[in-house]
Copies of this chain bind each other. A is one copy, B any other.
Amino acid sequence: MARITSVEVVDVRFPTSLTRDGSDAMNKDGDYSAAYVVLRTDDPALSGYGFTFTIGRGNDLCVAAAAQRARPLVGRDVDALCADPGGVYRELQSDSQLRWLGPDKGVVHLALAAVMNALWDLAARRAGKPLWRLLADMSPAELVAAADLRYLSDVLTPEQAIALLADRVPGRAARIEELEGSGYPCYTTSAGWLGYSDDKLRRLCEEAVAEGYKHVKLKVGADLDDDIRRCGIAREVLGPDGHLMIDANQVWDVPEAIEWVRELARFDPLWIEEPTSPDDILGHAAIRTAVAPIGVATGEHGMNRVLFKQLFQAGAIDYCQLDAARLGSVNEVLAVYLLAAHFDVPVCPHAGGVGLCELVQHLAIFDYVAVSASLDRRVTEYVDHLHEHFTDPCVVRNGAYVLPSAAGYSAEMHALSLAEYAFPHGTYWASRDGTESVA
């Protein structure tokens, strides 16, 4: 009978600000980082790995919070924990003193995500399955018991959620087979970071099209003339049938968002992403009405299921971009997928950063197999960097994620990567005297 013997939390930071990978109108110089959690057991062959994602300063706060969040797990029986991930989630979530610092948002919630991601990874490894299959093998009642449905019963009761999932059980095996052939469709953001030159933008767009992508996303919102020029380049490369998405990373107030997006409408964008504050449900609804038929997308800063519930209730978004490391792990992600299916809004998860692609491929696959059972209007983000640090990196072929087959949630990093990029004592940072920001 294995027990959790210790929790290790590592502050891992990559100096991405050096190359301006990830630069956008709000975030000019992020150092992509992870508060990385390892749940060790007394079986040396069995550990659980998880993380939350940040962009540099403050990653230490998530590390400290994750250590506090995980403390109640030490000494506990692994079988019991893995048999009831919903119960463990609710136990950790309901620590009332830590709850005061949210609730269900900010650093303590990011930390909960990191810890519970590690527990889900542990559960999948113990079962010898990739996470998407662990979930796809669970019954509707088991899935709903694991999901965080608190504060949602005005729109979705547990009974309704079970019925929704039960309705999709019959086709599960066929949909798995289908995805094993085709993969899960994705799009690339690697071309469009704000800090890239026009030449680099054009070259990367051309490469993306050559690699089979039908969607390309550009960062906008810093300067309208630049945006018009850059959108023109991307549309020219994509041709009239490719999909161009634009992403403002929250830089606008509502009236400014409407004006700016109307200026870019001539490039026929599929969606405008994060046009304003991620908290502004009614603002997104107003923007959506004003810029239709351009879609509105948001969610990477969507703090919790209560926010998403309202985005759906208010008809505020066309695309839901939940984040696997900002929501409280699979438990809360399940709730948002259920809500989205209930309201028939496609989920196109946010990815990129550190390891988010590794996580969201499992979620998107599971959604198709067991929740939405649809690929219509669904495309998952893919950003081509930092995968080399993971032991089971995602694989993209012909614009689609190949189904992961190794046991777990694909969240484990290489020991050598940790040794180099642990902050501030890893070899990379120690050689810079632990200077926090490299930009």
Contact = CB atoms under 8 A, between A and B. Distances in A.
23 contacts: A27-B99, A27-B100, A55-B96, A55-B100, A56-B100, A57-B95, A58-B97, A58-B101, A61-B108, A62-B101, A64-B64, A101-B107, A102-B105, A102-B106, A103-B278, A103-B301, A104-B279, A151-B280, A152-B253, A153-B253, A153-B254, A153-B255, A282-B314
Interface residues of A, number: 62
Contact of A110 (B60, B101, B153): B101
B105 A108 contact: no
Given A106-B107, A154-B255, A98 B301 contact: no
Given A97-B437, A109-B106, A282 B61 contact: no
A107 B26 contact: no
B61 A154 contact: no
Interface stretch (A303-311, A354-362, A405-413): A303-311
Nearest to A249: B96
B253 A277 contact: no
B58 A100 contact: yes
Nearest to A310: B282
A54 interface: yes
A436 to B, nearest CB: 9
Contacts of A152: 253
A56 B100 CA distance: 9
B306 A58 contact: no
A422 to B, nearest CB: 18
B303 A279 contact: yes
A301 B61 CA distance: 21
Contacts of A100: 27, 30, 54-56, 58
Contacts of A276: 151
B62 A310 contact: no
Would you list the 10 A-B pairs with minimal beta carbon distance, nearest first? Answer: A106-B106, A154-B254, A107-B107, A56-B97, A57-B97, A151-B277, A279-B306, A153-B253, A55-B100, A27-B96
A11 interface: no
The SS class assigned to the A binding surface is loop
Nearest to A304: B279
A314 B277 CA distance: 17
Tell me how many chains of this kind the complex includes: 2
Interface of A: 26-31, 54-58, 60-62, 64-65, 68, 95-110, 150-154, 250, 253-256, 276-283, 286, 301, 303-304, 306-307, 309-310, 313-314, 437
A281 B281 contact: yes
Given A27-B97, A103-B278, A151-B283, 17 more contacts: A26-B99, A27-B96, A54-B100, A57-B98, A58-B68, A61-B101, A62-B101, A65-B107, A101-B106, A105-B106, A105-B279, A105-B303, A153-B255, A154-B286, A282-B310, A282-B313, A283-B310
A157 to B, nearest CB: 9
Nearest to A96: B27
A380 to B, nearest CB: 21
A95 B108 CA distance: 19
Contacts of A256: 153
A187 to B, nearest CB: 22
A338 to B, nearest CB: 15
